[in-house]
Structures are given as C-alpha cells and as structure tokens.
Amino acid sequence: MPNSTRHNREQALVAATRALFDERGFQDVPVEEIAKAVGIARGLIYRTFASKDELFALTVTDYLHELAELLETAAASETSSRGRLELVTEAFAGYGRRYPAFLDSSLALMHRPARELQEIVSDSVWLRLGQGMASCLGVVADVLREGTERGDFAVDDPDYTANLLWTQALGLLHLARIGVGVRRVAPGVPGLFAIEAGDVVRSCVAHALAIVGTAPQARQDSSA
C-alpha cells in the first residue's frame, strides 16, 4: 500500500473512532462500527493497524495533541506562577468535561502497565503516544519548573509532579462525570449525594496548588 494511501486511511480511521467515542463513549465503539463509518471492510483496519489497541492509542494521541495546544495557550495567558498553574489546571479540567471519552480512553490505557502496552503496539504508535503525552506534561512541568525557579513553588522534580497532577486530575474528573458520591447515612445504610462538576474542578486547582507548596486564593491581575 502506498504510504500516502495508508496515511490517509489511518487519519480517516482515527477521526471516525474519535467521532464515535465522542458520540457514544469509549466503551461502546466496536471495530465494525468504525469500519462502517469510514466505508471500508473490517479487515482493512487490521491492514492499517496491528490491533484495536493501536487504533485506540492513536485516537488518544489525537486528543492529546489538541489538549496540548489548549494548555500552551493557558500557560501563555498569565505571567504569575500561581495564575499559570490555575489556568492550566482549569484548561485540563474543562477539556475532560467536554470530552468524557478522553477520560475513559486515557484511564483505560493506564489500566495496564506501560511495558505491557508497549509490547502490543508498534514502535511507531508507542512513540507517537509518548510524544502526545510529553507535549501535554511538558507544559505542566515547565510551569512548575519556572514557578520553582522564581521561588513561588516548592517542587523537587517538576516532571514527576506533572505526572502526579495529571493522574490525580484524571481521577477527580472521573468523579465529576459520575456526579454522585457515597456516604453512610446510618449504621449499615449507604446513601448517595450529588457532586457538582464545578466543585470538582475547584478541587483539582486546590490540590494542584497544595502539592506545589502554595494555597489557593483569588487570582491576582498580573499587570498589577
């Protein structure tokens, strides 16, 4: 297959997969539906990708490249360390709320050890997924690194902390998507209570600020 034809088919399959993810959710997208959306036979998917895992990994990569641009814009729109971290965290949270399938697919990739995932996808797909992750995490790490250099944050390892914040935010946003919590209302009697997405986003920001050694407060005008 000519490289251009393969590339075009790959792009079409990733776009169709993402559209179905966004429409139906990550858990309800069989390969047959993806092939139908593109107008090809199911078998042609496996002439483009070694497995469904490869296709799904590249779909996550598509989300990641889009998210990286949003994070970069957020980081560039503020000059204070605190403000930059707040805006980047809010941008991540907003993206996760807008695209629930991004949360599901990202968490699904994290369910297996990295070494196991690396063994079932090609080197090219593994590299591209890593590039997508690094493009996002690099923005966060740069904000943490520059904030530490200014003396605003207390972060020993910006890259580790960026990964920590990323994973924490994914879990918190999943709670926002569920929208309910569980509590004990009486001995042996559980009850549910509503959880507002806005409260979860504020918790994401507060936790991020706490981890880097600062506390949440009203964002100050950077021009002051």
Per run of 10 residues, the mean pLDDT along the chain (length 224 residues) is 71 89 78 85 80 88 96 95 96 92 86 86 92 97 96 95 94 90 96 94 93 62 40
Token pair for 204: 């994401």
DSSP string covering 142-165? HHHHHHHHTTS---S-HHHHHHHH
Q: Letter for the amino acid at 223?
A: S
Give the 3-state secondary structure of residue 77: coil
Residue 223's pLDDT is what?
Answer: 39
Cα–Cα distance between 75 and 73 in angstroms, integer? 6
User: What class has domain 1-48?
Assistant: mainly alpha
Give the 3-state secondary structure of residue 32: helix
Cα–Cα distance between 183 and 201 in angstroms, integer? 21
Give the 3-state secondary structure of residue 204: helix
Cα–Cα distance between 188 and 175 in angstroms, integer? 23
Query: Could you give phi then psi for residue 61, rounded to 5 degrees?
Result: -60, -35
Helices (H) and strands (E) in the chain, counts: 10, 2
H helix or E strand, kind and range, residue 141: helix 123-149
Residue 95's pLDDT is what?
Answer: 94
Residue 28's pLDDT is what?
Answer: 67
Q: Letter for the amino acid at 138?
A: G
Give the 3-state secondary structure of residue 80: coil
Residue 193's pLDDT is what?
Answer: 95
H helix or E strand, kind and range, residue 184: strand 180-186
- Measured over the CA atoms of residue 221, residue 169, residue 208 and residue 210, the dihedral's sign is positive
Token pair for 87: 């805006």
Query: Could you give phi then psi for residue 187, rounded to 5 degrees?
Result: -50, 120
Token pair for 165: 């914040």
Residue 73's pLDDT is what?
Answer: 97
| Domain boundaries for CATH 1.10.10.60 within the chain | 1-48
Dihedral, CA of residue 170, residue 190, residue 196 and residue 85, to nearest 10: -40
Residue 51's pLDDT is what?
Answer: 81
| Domain boundaries for CATH 1.10.357.10 within the chain | 50-211
Q: Domain 50-211, what fold?
A: Tetracycline Repressor; domain 2 (1.10.357)
